[in-house]
Amino acid sequence: MAKKKSFLERLTGSIRLEDNEENNGELYFNESKDSSKENNLPKESKWEEEIDAELTVDLYQTPTDIIVQTMVAGVQPENLSITITRDMITIRGKREENKSIDNENYFVQELYWGSFSRTISLPEEVDPEEAEAVEKHGLLIIKLPKLDKNRETKLKIKSI
């Protein structure tokens, strides 16, 4: 029975030698199998693709609202997009890097620059039309009013 490949084996394309095989300390690579076909990716490396970073969030509730908070410091409002449905919210954006500094002049470079996104399934249904978003000092606060499932409306009957 074939064992599942480890992360390192999938990453490097190497193969695992069974304990009963002799390898004399040599490392073997599986050159016959094209891992890009396995992942339905073009021949270029999948590491070269630009993948959105995942945005960190706080999600909590009040008696009437679901609140989402996230840090978006350095992001221009026109580079932010918030999409809301009754049970899901998606926040996308892009933080532009200051290109005036050459890479060889950095001692430490830990800040994230580029695209980010986060999609969250909400614990309760919300009213997307009444949602509000406010940004203050880099903190984005999104207020999502909960749907009142106990609310009743009297329907008037019209005579035709």
Tell me the DSSP string of the chain. -PPPPPHHHHHH-B-PPPTTS--TT---B--SS-HHHHTT--SS-GGGS--PEEPP-EEEE-SSEEEEEEE-TT--GGGEEEEE-SSEEEEEEEEPP-TTS-GGG-S------EEEEEEEE-SS-B-GGG-EEEEETTEEEEEEEBP-TT---PPPPPP-
Same domain, 19 and 60: no
Spatial separation of the C-alpha atoms in residues 58 and 69, rounded to whole Å: 5
Q: What is the pLDDT along the chain (160 residues), one digit of tens a residue?
A: 556 666 666 656 666 555 444 555 554 444 444 444 444 444 444 444 567 788 899 999 999 999 999 999 888 888 899 999 999 999 999 988 777 888 888 888 888 888 999 999 999 999 999 999 999 999 999 999 999 877 777 888 888 8
At residue 74, the pLDDT reads: 85
Does 157 reside within a domain? no
Q: Residue 8 has what pLDDT? A: 62
Domain span at residue 120 reads 53-145
| Co-location of 34 and 69 in the same domain | no
Instruction: Please report whether residue 101 resides in a domain.
Output: yes
Measure the CA angle with vertex 49, ends 44 and 54; round to 5°. 155
Query: 57 lies in a domain?
Result: yes
Q: 27 and 62 share a domain?
A: no
Residues 82 and 30 in one domain: no
Residue in this structure with the two tokens 């009743």, named with its chain if needed: 152
What pLDDT, on a 0 to 100 scale, did the predictor assign at position 160? 84
Tokens of 50: 């630009």
22 and 89 share one domain? no
Statement to judge: residues 81 and 36 lie in one domain: no
Q: Are 83 and 137 found together in one domain?
A: yes
103 and 63 inside one domain: yes
Residue 20 domain-assigned (yes or no): yes
Same domain, 42 and 58: no
77: domain CATH number?
Answer: 2.60.40.790
Within this chain, do residues 89 and 123 fall inside the same structural domain, yes or no? yes
Total domains in the chain come to 2
Q: Are residues 102 and 38 in the same domain?
A: no
Q: How many residues does the chain have?
A: 160
Q: What is the pLDDT of residue 47?
A: 46
pTM for the whole thing?
Answer: 0.61
**Paired tokens of 139:** 């903190």
Task: Please report the pLDDT score of residue 158 as a whole number.
Answer: 87
